[in-house]
Structure 1
Amino acid sequence: MSVWSQVVGQPEAVAELQAAAEHAAHVRFASEGPDEGRRRSGGMTHAWLFTGPPGSGRSVAARAFAAALQCPRGGCDACQVCRTVIAGTHADVHEVATEGLSLGVKEMRAVIERAARMPTTARWQVVLIEDADRMTEQASNAVLKAVEEPNERTVFLLCAPSEHPDDVSVTIRSRCRPLRLRTPQSSAIAAVLQERDGVDAETASWAASVCGGHIGRARRLARDENARQRREAVLAVPRSLRSAAEVFAAADDMMAAADAEVVALTGERDEAEREELAVSMGAGGTGKGVAQAQRAAKAAEKELEKQQKQRQTRTKRDSLDRALIDLAGYYRDVLVRGFGAEAAATHPDRAIEVENAARDGSRESALRRLEAVLACREALETNVKPQIAVEAMVTALRAG
């Protein structure tokens, strides 16, 4: 076993990263001896860009690479170094992820400043940015400057869906070595669900076949009954749009399901954070200085509320996006079946429904419905009010 066993269905990428980690073990720094400035780095470089479709394991691969760089044995997955890197607690590996809609410059500058120092326990300072596509323009500029003038012991690992300028600026991309991940095969995902998560073979095979190549989604579908019920409700939408009343009812149901998921995923955490803040700010205290402490507590409470609202907004968008991806996959299957193409189905467990929809409707209507779903995703990305975007979509789905 090694840290690379966590990277599912990416043999080419793993081989490339392993080679780079092996070369990195022989890099000589200016401060280490008479061979000043000489490096035997081979495939190693100071900045990497991990790209791939959602669920392909970009951050998992980047984290495994960070462990391999720091581990004396190249990522054994058994030593303290590997365990702390994978757990996100290693002193010289700085992970940046956002639960909001964007990564701001203030957070990025703080991380870059820490990473510019000499490592404390390992050979490298590693900065892992999980959501590089969510960086604001100012944050991107801060990262660009750090990548252009890197400390010799600092490595940047950026993760983004693609190399498109909308995800990563051209200037940053040009200074990074690209590593492209692919959608894992369903057989590889099913094997992981069985071996790592203890899921029975039948459930693992089903979850892997309907997850769209998204490992995290497959795990949720295999283990979470609520996730399966939400998927069932979404895939029932095409059959429940017989009248205008049902159109708006379907939109309301989708929004209610997203709201329920937000409460389930963030409700307890939000409450715990508020209680923790109240305790840390001396809630209920008396005596000298209480008024000043209360003013500080109010400011901290407002900042916490802002962060929680951003997290709730992103959680709701992500929930709606998963639903829209399922819908898009359904109409894509209808279109494929309408053309009689030999292509793997997105929802193989809906084969009979898809067959009937393709027989009863035209290919043109299937395409228009698919485009309506994709247009709704784009509208949500541009901050259109979710209720309006979803209602417009289901209205177009009924019209065909």
Structure 2
Amino acid sequence: MSVWDAIVGQRPVVDMLSRVAQLSGPSADPGGQHSRRDDLAQSWLICGPPGSGRSNVARAFAAAMDSPDHGLDDEPTKVTRQILSGTHPDVTVLATDKVTIGIDQVRDLIATSEQMPSTAPWRIIIIEDVDRMMERTTNVLLKEIEEPAEHTIWLLCAPSPQDVLPTIRSRTRIVNLAVPTTAAVTAFLKEHTDADRHVAARAARLAEGHIGIARLYATNERVMADRDSLVVGVLGMSRTSDAVMLAEGLIENARGQAQEDIAAQVEAEQRSFRRINGLDEKDRMPPNLRSAYHAIGAKDDVRRRVTRRSRDVLDRALNSVASVYRDVCVLQNNAEDAVGIINLENRTAITELSVRLSRAQAIDRLEHIAVARRRMAGNVAPQLAFEALFSALVV
């Protein structure tokens, strides 16, 4: 399977990046020495909406650049497997579950970028969510992006070029990703999950082009059921007390999901730690490894990760609520044949709501959702943000 086969709905971008990798990859310089080439950008900005797969595109591009087969062979090379799994010594990925990327993290990346690659033709640095950098941090990165070391390629990821400071934007080659079509996501789910055709199609439709969420819906019945309950709850609200109860249930459910997810992650990380250090599940942990092992499940770290994951679940909930009023607007403007309905299972209730609301009221409710999103980004207590939102949505 080609390294590009897991990239969904981005054929023009894949074709372009694949050509770049073939021209500038390992076989481009038989002498084993790379010089800076005018036709090879060494600083890239890969942009796409959440779920479009921008970080996956960056990893695939890195594998195509550094792998002897340019990532094209049906059987992935060892280099490709290492890069995609995050274990290759010459490909560094900076991802964060914090609000911002720290200046010290970027300084460490710059130091790494100056080192010669150990085995591959290129040292490749991938920064996910570069839009989370403060201006001071971005300024530290700027010179390195403008004049990279001859052996280094920078791959930056952000939702859009406008989310990145102009100083960075103007010094990179920009790649814009499309929102994958429902058909493309459905095909991906049928190939890469155990979901049947019906489940895959429904998950793709409800995810609205977000590949990660589509996979989650297709593989986790609880998450799909929680979304169904939320949409029914929003459509059924008639009093402020309904809004308060719906917000309370949503917050509690988000925290429960987050705790389960993080507990599973910690367990997997601890198993990996044991495996790397040659320990079976029942072996006693040697004294010299105990500190590092217990740090994996440290309470403060777990609490922080649960909070961040809860925010992710709530952000997904905002998307689901917005889809209801998006569908209302579609019906009010007789646009169903052109763009379709997301929440087909609730079409009757949404049709009734589209009659009760004016067009201005429907748009106003989408603005209330945007306000709730901004409040969440500003660290307003989730309970208060959703109580205010749901109260404003009551008809």
User: Do both share a fold (TM > 0.5)?
Assistant: yes
Q: Which letter does structure 2 place at the counterpart of 1:335? A: C
Among 362, 365, 368, the alignment partner of 1:369 is 365
Aligned counterparts of 2:12 and 2:296: Cα–Cα separation in 1: 47
Residues 1-400 of structure 1: pairs in structure 2 closer than 5 A: 1-25=1-25, 32=33, 39=37, 42=39, 44-75=40-71, 76=73, 78-164=76-162, 167-269=163-265, 304-341=298-335, 342-398=338-394, 400=395
Q: Which structure 1 segments of 5+ residues have no match?
A: 285-296
Q: Which letter does structure 1 place at the counterpart of 2:309? A: T
Secondary structure of 1:127's match? Answer: strand
Q: Which letter does structure 1 place at the counterpart of 2:311? A: R
Q: Which letter does structure 2 place at the counterpart of 1:17? A: L
Secondary structure of 2:101's match? Answer: coil
Deviation at 1:142, TM superposition (A): 2.5
Listed one character per residue, the Cα deviations across residues 278-324 of structure 1 (whole Å, up to 9, x for unaligned) are: x687699xxxxxxxxxxxx7xx9799555434322221111111001
Question: Is the Cα contact below 8 Å between 1:93 and 1:128 reproduced in 2?
Answer: yes
- Aligned in 2, Cα 1:316/1:154: closer, same or farther, shift over 3 Å? same
Q: Which letter does structure 1 place at the counterpart of 2:9? A: G
Secondary structure of 1:95's match? Answer: strand
Question: Is the Cα contact below 8 Å between 2:22 and 2:28 reproduced in 1?
Answer: no
Listed one character per residue, the Cα deviations across residues 329-359 of structure 1 (whole Å, up to 9, x for unaligned) are: 1111102211222422232332222212112
Q: Which letter does structure 2 place at the counterpart of 1:111? A: L
Report how many residues are paired: 379
Question: Is the Cα contact below 8 Å between 2:270 and 2:296 reproduced in 1?
Answer: no
Q: Which letter does structure 2 place at the counterpart of 1:82? A: T
Q: Which letter does structure 2 place at the counterpart of 1:236? A: V
Question: Is the Cα contact below 8 Å between 2:235 and 2:350 reproduced in 1?
Answer: no
Q: Which residue does the alignment assign to 1:291? A: none
**Percent identity, aligned pairs only?**
36
Deviation at 1:368, TM superposition (A): 1.8
Aligned counterparts of 1:302 and 1:182: Cα–Cα separation in 2: 37
Aligned counterparts of 1:254 and 1:83: Cα–Cα separation in 2: 39
Aligned counterparts of 1:170 and 1:280: Cα–Cα separation in 2: 51
Deviation at 1:375, TM superposition (A): 1.0
Question: Is the Cα contact below 8 Å between 2:8 and 2:180 reproduced in 1?
Answer: yes
Secondary structure of 2:5's match? Answer: helix
Secondary structure of 2:161's match? Answer: coil
CA RMSD, Structure 1 to Structure 2 (Å): 2.8
- Aligned in 2, Cα 1:4/1:245: closer, same or farther, shift over 3 Å? same
Secondary structure of 2:367's match? Answer: helix
Deviation at 1:274, TM superposition (A): 9.6
Aligned counterparts of 2:233 and 2:115: Cα–Cα separation in 1: 54
Flag as ranges the 4+ runs of structure 1 deviating above 4 A.
26-31, 268-276, 279-284, 300-306
Secondary structure of 1:90's match? Answer: coil
- Aligned in 2, Cα 1:4/1:269: closer, same or farther, shift over 3 Å? closer
Q: Which residue does the alignment assign to 2:281? A: none
Secondary structure of 1:5's match? Answer: coil
Q: Which structure 2 segments of 5+ residues have no match?
A: 274-284
Secondary structure of 1:48's match? Answer: strand
Listed one character per residue, the Cα deviations across residues 55-89 of structure 1 (whole Å, up to 9, x for unaligned) are: 11101111110000011111135211111111111
- Aligned in 2, Cα 1:24/1:238: closer, same or farther, shift over 3 Å? same
Q: Which moved more, 1:243-252 or 1:325-334?
A: 243-252
Deviation at 1:261, TM superposition (A): 1.3
Listed one character per residue, the Cα deviations across residues 25-73 of structure 1 (whole Å, up to 9, x for unaligned) are: 366599839xxx573x53x211111101111110111111000001111
Q: Which moved more, 1:231-240 or 1:24-33?
A: 24-33
- Aligned in 2, Cα 1:274/1:302: closer, same or farther, shift over 3 Å? closer
TM-score scaled by length of structure 1: 0.87
Aligned counterparts of 2:309 and 2:270: Cα–Cα separation in 1: 19
- Aligned in 2, Cα 1:271/1:79: closer, same or farther, shift over 3 Å? closer
Aligned counterparts of 1:140 and 1:38: Cα–Cα separation in 2: 24
Aligned counterparts of 2:381 and 2:204: Cα–Cα separation in 1: 33
